[in-house]
A and B are shown apart, each in its own frame.
Chain A
Amino acid sequence: MDNSLKITEMRKSIGKSLLYTLPMFLITFIFVTGGRPNFSDPASGLAMLTVFLLVNVLYFLMHYTGKTDRYRAILFIIFALSLSYSLIHNMLEVRKSMSFSQADILECKIPFCHLVIPMMILPAAFTKSIIFPGSIIGGFANISSMVVLWLIATMVLGRGFCSWGCFYGGWDDGFSRIRKRPVIKKISELWKWMPFAVLIMVMLTAALSMMPTYCSWICPFKAVTEFEQVTSVESATKAGIFLSIFGGLVVVLPVMTRKRTQCSFLCPLGAINSLSNKITPFTVKIDKTACNECFKCVETCPLFALTREDIKEGKVSLFCSKCGKCVDACSRKAIHYGIRGIPAGTLKNFSRNLFLFVSFLFMSMFSAGSIINTFHGLLKLIF
């Protein structure tokens, strides 16, 4: 009886939820269809319509059910899968292979991703140049566009970028949801500082070698995007390293721990995004007057952003990616989305609605292109 009351409390009416969804509906309609839906190619029209409906149904359900993480994760995981699919599909069409050659490097044709950004900083400051064989402007996945997207998203969402924008995060988020209970329960909190060590290491090694060392040697997501052609002992070693890290940190450990271990223990960009949590307008707040210290939020946090001490002190650490898992887990709504400057426990619905609109709009607009491409490709395969 008590539980059903709580669930009823969290739900909004269908009319109110539809009203909240209307602005998202209009903006995504204009963005996805360009304002003029075109069904001259039925497959691409259907793909566009499916993605448009998917995005808006998920957003509606976030409002209607009062749950955030479940529906965020659906789009987030689809985004990760579809980006890998469309990237690999594109490379197989252009290069007939997932690997890139020395010629692709010499001609600066390597697609750029946000994980390179930490390694760009020192060389850009000292040599006034970018150490990546990609395209500055124009072409596929150019450096300028990705820098703009990341910079604005990180300024507004902080580490929220890692749960609402990163097209790799969906991989370990997805694997962390496979088991209902974790097999490994105790992991030292100290590991969460590891991304800062990786950040310092890759920034220094990249500057000294003038090479994006994380991409060359460590990045596990080469397993689901592209990698250097294996032609020597060195390139074979690199392949062994990234495949092992992908297997360990993106697949096995997330399944065993129900945590996003790659994001928590390795990603150097995650470390920078954590620091940006200090300036972002949106935060997660703890209302100490409502909290009964059940610590469900601590258990459920996928990024080790909450400790029992944090809850007792009523603060969320800078590692928080605003995924909403803890917010959904709290039956007393003591932990909630907030806006900087507004005291915990006040304007909860206003803060949540504004944050959800901003973050979900970013994710849906960022992901729409690759999800449409993927759906279109799959429809063409089926029919």
Chain B
Amino acid sequence: MKKVKIIAGISWAFLGLLLIIILFPGLNSFSVSVSKLPFMKLNSRYTGGDIARQMITANCTLDIRKPVFNGFIKDRSSGFVQLDWHGNLPETIKDSVDFDGDGKIDFNILINRKDPKTAIEPFNNMVKKVLISTPTSYGWAVRVGLDKN
């Protein structure tokens, strides 16, 4: 039994040595394999959620993302909807947003990029306030707080 333990211990140590030797040369391929695991995707609280629809104008595109309410076990009562503007943005952005796709405008949004100030005019009880409004590398992003009531 003692010999078996010794052989097992030494084998495990040499396996460890092998793992460390191949770790760095194989890091890229190991990482790609790990990135394909089902849980290796960013939570929508960080990505802003999937894009629900796009509004394309002459100069820029507005991505309206799906509202995000997700929580640890179940959905939360409060969340947000993220809007991303890409392209050649005007100094003042003014848009009407229907985030739930029911054909009715949920809020108007006005962004003065120079100031910078962001105001919303809600038409839906779920819409609360602007949480984040910031310039990004691709244009401008806004998160508007929502409440499920």
Contact = CB atoms under 8 A, between A and B. Distances in A.
Nearest to A148: B30
Contacts of B92: none
Interface residues of A, number: 56
A125 B9 CA distance: 32
Interface string A197-237: 00000000001101100000000000000000000000000
Contacts of A128: 38-39, 41
A145 B33 CA distance: 10
Of the listed residues B17, B35, B48, B135, the one surrounded by the most CB atoms of chain A closer than 10 A to its CB is B35
A152 B23 contact: yes
A129 B137 contact: no
Interface in A117-147: 122-134, 136-137, 142-145, 147
B6 A341 contact: yes
B9 A340 contact: yes
Given A144-B31, A361-B21, 13 more contacts: A27-B21, A101-B134, A103-B136, A105-B46, A123-B43, A127-B70, A129-B42, A143-B40, A148-B31, A281-B13, A281-B16, A340-B13, A354-B17
21 contacts: A31-B24, A103-B135, A106-B132, A108-B47, A122-B72, A124-B39, A129-B42, A131-B45, A132-B46, A134-B42, A143-B35, A144-B35, A145-B31, A149-B23, A152-B23, A280-B16, A339-B12, A340-B13, A341-B10, A355-B13, A365-B23
A147 B132 CA distance: 30
A136 B23 contact: no
Interface string A360-381: 0110011000000000000000
A155 B135 CA distance: 43
A227 to B, nearest CB: 17
A88 interface: no
A212 to B, nearest CB: 10
B113 to A, nearest CB: 13
A58 interface: no
Interface of A: 27, 31, 101-103, 105-108, 122-134, 136-137, 142-145, 147-149, 152-153, 155-157, 207-208, 210-211, 280-282, 339-343, 354-355, 357-358, 361-362, 365-366
Nearest to B14: A354
B72 A210 contact: yes
B91 to A, nearest CB: 19
Contacts of B27: 145, 148-149
Interface of B: 2, 5-10, 12-17, 19-21, 23-25, 27-28, 30-32, 34-35, 38-48, 70-73, 82, 132, 134-138, 141, 143
A126 B43 contact: no
Nearest to A102: B134
Contacts of B45: 131, 210-211
B45 to A, nearest CB: 5
Contacts of A130: 39-43, 46
A96 to B, nearest CB: 14
Given A129-B41, A131-B45, A133-B42, A341 B31 contact: no
Of the listed residues A156, A280, A366, the one surrounded by the most CB atoms of chain B closer than 10 A to its CB is A156
From DSSP, what is the main secondary structure of chain A's interface residues? Answer: helix
A358 B9 contact: no
A232 to B, nearest CB: 12
Contacts of B82: 106
Given A106-B48, A341-B10, A365-B24, A144 B132 contact: no
A185 B132 CA distance: 49
Contacts of A101: 134
Contact of A103 (B23, B70, B73, B134): B134
A107 B137 contact: yes
B43 A147 contact: no
Given A102-B134, A149-B27, A282 B16 contact: yes
A339 B82 CA distance: 54
A354 B13 contact: yes
Contacts of B137: 103, 107
A127 B138 CA distance: 29
Nearest to B138: A107
Contacts of A208: 72
B72 to A, nearest CB: 5
A137 B41 contact: no
B20 A361 contact: yes
A102 B132 contact: yes
Contacts of A281: 9, 12-13, 15-16
A313 B14 CA distance: 29
B71 to A, nearest CB: 7
A282 B8 CA distance: 12
